[in-house]
């Protein structure tokens, strides 16, 4: 397949969901810029994808919790006109309670899951908008809307990704930039091992393969779907969630407190 002119930059590209995005986008003809910490894995993957699909695959070794490394990735996004797609995939999680978790680990989680996602989007969005074209995919989690299921800081970081993506979707739509947020459920990747809860401990019926997840998310991207939740069997449930949110929005701010806060004396007077 001939290479497309658009290069896709994928963070967390050396394994799991990011590695599958790399494979699927290369199969579609995209050149790639793969970002991760593990240089050996990146080089092996770049060689494999380049040979298999005939595309150009570059690598950028970076730890997104390192400010200097993060700035390197930002600079490529802001200045390399070939890059027309960003997959903000890098992230890590935790399954422990607040009392069980290291606050320093939680701060590092925020660095990758929030700060890096935000800064890379800030680097990419103006460049994409100036060209009137581009695609931004942010990987969130079902924990964005169900923070009770995992570590609370993790859920909070993914709630940020969902809210941030929603704002970007509205802001960039008229500038030719597509924004999608993907909310994976339990997925069979190294993520769970790192989080301290191997996916082998979960019911088999809960765990989706990363290949199934990415293929579904890309179908949604092609169809213009903003929020992709491949594991949600009944999409009308998400539509009901969204409809309820939109009904509330005009009523969330008021000078007056709601009548339910009036005292009994006020009613009597």
pLDDT in tens, 63-101: 999 999 999 999 999 999 999 999 999 998 877 788 888
pLDDT value at residue 2: 40
Instruction: For residue range 22-69, list pLDDT tens digits in order.
Output: 999 999 999 999 999 999 999 999 999 999 999 999 999 999 999 999
Domain boundaries, the chain: 7-235
Region 138-165: mean pLDDT is 94
With a pLDDT cut of 70, the percent of the chain lying above it is 90
Q: Which of 21, 53, 122, 154 is catalytic?
A: 154
Check if the beta carbon of residue 123 is closer than 8 Å to that of residue 164.
no
Query: Is-catalytic flag, 154?
Result: yes
How many angstroms separate the Cα of 247 from the Cα of each of 117, 181, 240, 244, 252? 29, 22, 10, 5, 10
Gap between the Cα atoms of 111 and 120, Å rounded: 12
Q: What's the topology of domain 7-235?
A: Rossmann fold (3.40.50)
**What would the mean pLDDT of 189-204 be, rounded to a whole number?**
60
């Amino acid at each position: 397949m001939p290479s497309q002119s658009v290069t896709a930059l994928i963070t967390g590209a050396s394994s799991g969901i990011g590695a599958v995005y790399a494979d699927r986008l290369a199969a579609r003809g995209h050149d790639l810029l793969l970002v991760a910490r593990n240089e050996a894995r990146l080089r092996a993957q770049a060689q494999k994808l380049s040979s298999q699909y005939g595309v150009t695959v570059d690598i950028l070794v970076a730890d997104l919790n390192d400010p200097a490394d993060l700035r390197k990735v930002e600079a490529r996004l802001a200045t390399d006109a070939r890059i027309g797609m960003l997959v903000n995939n890098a992230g890590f999680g935790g399954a422990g309670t607040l009392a069980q978790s290291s606050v320093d680990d939680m701060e590092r989680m925020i660095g990758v899951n929030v700060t890096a996602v935000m800064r890379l989007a800030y680097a990419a969005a103006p460049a994409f908008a100036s060209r009137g074209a581009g695609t931004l995919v942010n990987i969130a989690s079902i924990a964005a809307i169900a923070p009770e299921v995992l570590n609370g800081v993790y859920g909070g970081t993914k709630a940020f990704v969902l809210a941030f993506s929603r704002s970007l979707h509205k802001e960039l739509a008229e500038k030719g930039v597509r924004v999608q947020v993907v909310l994976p459920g339990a997925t069979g990747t190294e993520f769970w091992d790192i989080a301290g809860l191997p996916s082998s401990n979960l019911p088999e019926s809960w765990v989706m393969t990363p290949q199934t997840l990415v293929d579904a998310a890309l179908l949604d991207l092609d169809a213009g779907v903003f929020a992709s939740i491949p594991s949600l069997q009944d999409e009308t449930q998400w539509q009901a969630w969204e409809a309820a949110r939109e009904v509330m929005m005009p009523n969330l701010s008021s000078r007056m407190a709601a009548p339910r806060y009036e005292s009994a004396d006020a009613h009597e007077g």
